[in-house]
Structure 1
Amino acid sequence: MTTPEIVASAYDQALLTRQVGDLLDRHLPKAPSAGEEVLIKPNLLLAAPPDKAILTHPLVVRATAAWVLDRGARPLIADSPAVGSVAKIWRMGGFEDALKGMDVEVRGFETAAPVDIGAPFGTIGLAQEALETSMVINLPKFKTHAMMTLTLGVKNLFGCVVGFEKPRWHARAGIQREQFAKLLVGIAEAVRPTVTLVDAVTGLEGQGPGKSGTPRPMGFLVAGSHVHEVDATCAHMAGLAPETLPTLAAALASGLLTDMPPLPVPEAVFKDFKLPTQSPVTFGPSFLKHLIRKHMVQRPVVNPAACQKCNHCLSYCPVDAISETPEAVAFDLETCIRCYCCVEVCPHAALEAVDTRLGTWLQKGKRLVDRVL
């Protein structure tokens, strides 16, 4: 197991080819055999150009595929997008041009194989390629996430859940961030990526991980063989203690992450990194939780002027809490579990998670009390 490494970088093809190759040489236990299939798992959330910083940058994917090809192995680039086909994302995301002429296979995950990820979830179907390929190169994007705070190596592997099984597992995990984080960690442990290399050259801050986020120049690659340690390193870069990130808290509770050696984290670069606005999904005494969630917890809100009524959010909602009206989509807040999948998949940046008026007042009051005490 290797110590995570942070390397200053830029979106330059020659530079990335050299840097990604060096990082893979240092952090993989061995090179792939000639003819061996190697799974490359980028973030292919939805169709967006590279400058939106929603997807793993095509030049990072190209450099990874080139390293695999140089060793005589066969790169398979695959994901299960939230919205749209892999073919459309490949074209609009700049991958088609960046990898033109390279002997790579590109496809969406379609076949799931059962695997037991432990209590309380039991058996889950994950992409067969992710479970059966001996080398998995995990290529997440450094992004904020409305529910999980950041989407990094562990969250990227949720893309190994095939198609519309993802919203079903959102529903099963329920309204607790901690429960969903535990699910994500279980999936990551089942896939066990051989190496994780985070594209943090340009990240996404604010209300990510989709088109409501804001691109943020950062200038780094982060790599390591232990996905939780890589995520912890990225959390430090965003100014977070690891235990405050739900997926890392779940990994710590499971004994999958222990004290890390000190790293030269370039914290100054990220002192003003904008995290998503969040409030607890549930809190307070159990007999008041229904009223608290209804009147005090963040809720998804639509901008009718931006809504194109494409119904991506409606079809993806795990609990059918969204309906169509003549003006825009509408939310049943009694049914909504606050997973913010709708915000994530909206291709028009028409949705965001916002605090209620009462919730905003209480958050301000809490910050004032914290300062006084």
Structure 2
Amino acid sequence: MQPTVSLIRANSYDLKNLRESLEALLEPLGGMRSFVKKGDRVLLKPNLLTGSRPTKECVTRPEIVYCVVQMVREAGGEPFLGDSPAFGSALGVAKANGYLPLLEELNLPITEFSGKRYQTVSEQFNHLLLSPEAMNADVIINLPKLKSHVQLTMTMGVKNLFGCVPGKMKAWWHTEAGKDSARFGQMLVETARIINPKLTILDGIIGHEGNGPSGGEPRQLGVLAASSDVFALDRAIAEIVNVDPLLVPTLAASMRLGLCSNLAAIDFPLLQPQDLKVLDWRLPDRMMPIDFGLPRVLKSTFKHFYIRFIKEPLAAYSSR
């Protein structure tokens, strides 16, 4: 079946304008009711990378989540938000990035991911751990942020699903598979295939270019994208920002596995990638190794636990 990727121009996070944009974006895909049925438990998986740079557009905007929550509830679904940030808790990162006023208004639950073993579609990754909170949802809606990435060139829909790997297991995978970028990219692709989000909506209104995923700068791009096929969506976005897909390990792996061969295989019912193309998107100044050595794993683990179990609780206590 030919994948469909819906692309539109959108330049505002104003809630009214954004809601209209999202409705227009999903209309060619059948609207939210094509993905969510009455009574479905719906995981919304944004990019909640870090709470340390809240003005740098490192995370999915809360306004995107707000509008999607409304649309899911109108379709009869029961949404909840979940992620496993690199550092700290989902609640702590959401709070640092201005999520709480909107989420409290909507009374939206925030779930912290834990770990459980799931058999993958590939024997070489059969020890992959995924969150049962994610895997037990009836529907997963993937809400990535468009960013450059110092290890993977770009992070889009496929990479965002790595957040369903709980806690510091992500650092372990950097160590286990990170010595070979092709293997690491395939691991991410296999992860996305298992999770199998029903819908991906990419936040590219303001992206994050340069030394991402957190060390770069905001870039007004004016793009929203949606698809039931996360691999096709990522391929389209790489075309928009004029990045060779073979430089992106997740795209190279998905193409090698026959999951998204070329643009001609994708249906674009609204705008075409060339209608949104930019030629000066900034990639990282230099690429960093994917592999995490033992000292880095230990440092990362300490930082994660310090933020989640000391810094965040102290901040919550002092704000009472």
Which TM bucket (shorter chain)?
0.7 to 0.9
Q: 1:19 aligns with which of 16, 21, 24?
A: 21
**Gapped regions of structure 2 (runs ≥ 5):** 305-320
Cα-to-partner distance string for 1:72-121 (whole Å, 9 max, x where unaligned): 22101100000111221121111112233213211211242422241322
Letter in 1 for 2:256: A
CA change 1:73–1:207 in 2 (3 A) is: same
Q: 1:61 aligns with which of 65, 85, 90?
A: 65
CA change 1:38–1:21 in 2 (3 A) is: farther
TM-score by length of 2: 0.84
1:323 and 1:241 map into 2 onto residues whose CA distance is 30
1:167 aligns with 171
Q: Percent identity?
A: 31
1:114 and 1:136 map into 2 onto residues whose CA distance is 17
Deviation at 1:46, TM superposition (A): 1.0
Verify: 1:218 aligned to 2:221, yes or no.
Answer: yes
1:109 and 1:64 map into 2 onto residues whose CA distance is 21
Give yes or no for contact 1:48–1:54 (8 Å, CA) kept in 2.
Answer: no
2:154 aligns with 150
TM-score by length of 1: 0.73
Cα-to-partner distance string for 1:125-153 (whole Å, 9 max, x where unaligned): 11113222231100000001111100000
Secondary structure at the aligned position of 1:84 is classed as coil
Deviation at 1:268, TM superposition (A): 6.7
Q: 2:80 aligns with which of 76, 79, 83?
A: 76
2:235 aligns with 232
Give yes or no for contact 1:23–1:223 (8 Å, CA) kept in 2.
Answer: yes
Verify: 1:259 aligned to 2:256, yes or no.
Answer: no
Secondary structure at the aligned position of 2:22 is classed as helix
2:201 aligns with 197
1:82 and 1:201 map into 2 onto residues whose CA distance is 23
1:29 and 1:17 map into 2 onto residues whose CA distance is 15
Q: 2:285 aligns with which of 253, 277, 280?
A: 277
2:149 and 2:72 map into 1 onto residues whose CA distance is 30
Letter in 1 for 2:260: L
Moved over 6 A (4+): none
CA change 1:237–1:323 in 2 (3 A) is: closer
Q: How many residues are aligned here?
A: 295
Give yes or no for contact 1:74–1:104 (8 Å, CA) kept in 2.
Answer: no
2:244 aligns with 241
**Gapped regions of structure 1 (runs ≥ 5):** 280-297, 301-316, 330-340, 346-373
2:130 aligns with 126
Higher relative contact order (CA 8 A, sep 6+): 2
1:355 aligns with none
Q: 1:321 aligns with which of 291, 295, 306?
A: 295
1:156 and 1:203 map into 2 onto residues whose CA distance is 14
1:265 and 1:51 map into 2 onto residues whose CA distance is 28
CA change 1:33–1:140 in 2 (3 A) is: same
Secondary structure at the aligned position of 2:163 is classed as helix
Q: 1:109 aligns with which of 86, 110, 113?
A: 113
CA change 1:299–1:31 in 2 (3 A) is: closer
2:120 and 2:78 map into 1 onto residues whose CA distance is 29
Secondary structure at the aligned position of 1:94 is classed as coil
1:338 aligns with none
Secondary structure at the aligned position of 1:234 is classed as helix
Letter in 2 for 1:55: V
From the two aligned structures, give the one with the greater helix fraction: 2
Deviation at 1:242, TM superposition (A): 2.5
1:192 and 1:21 map into 2 onto residues whose CA distance is 22
Q: 1:43 aligns with which of 37, 41, 47?
A: 47
Letter in 1 for 2:217: T
What is the RMSD of the two structures over their aligned residues, measured on CA atoms? 2.7
Secondary structure at the aligned position of 1:38 is classed as strand
For 1:77-96, list aligned pairs within 5 A: 77-96=81-100
Deviation at 1:16, TM superposition (A): 1.3
Secondary structure at the aligned position of 1:123 is classed as coil
Secondary structure at the aligned position of 2:273 is classed as coil
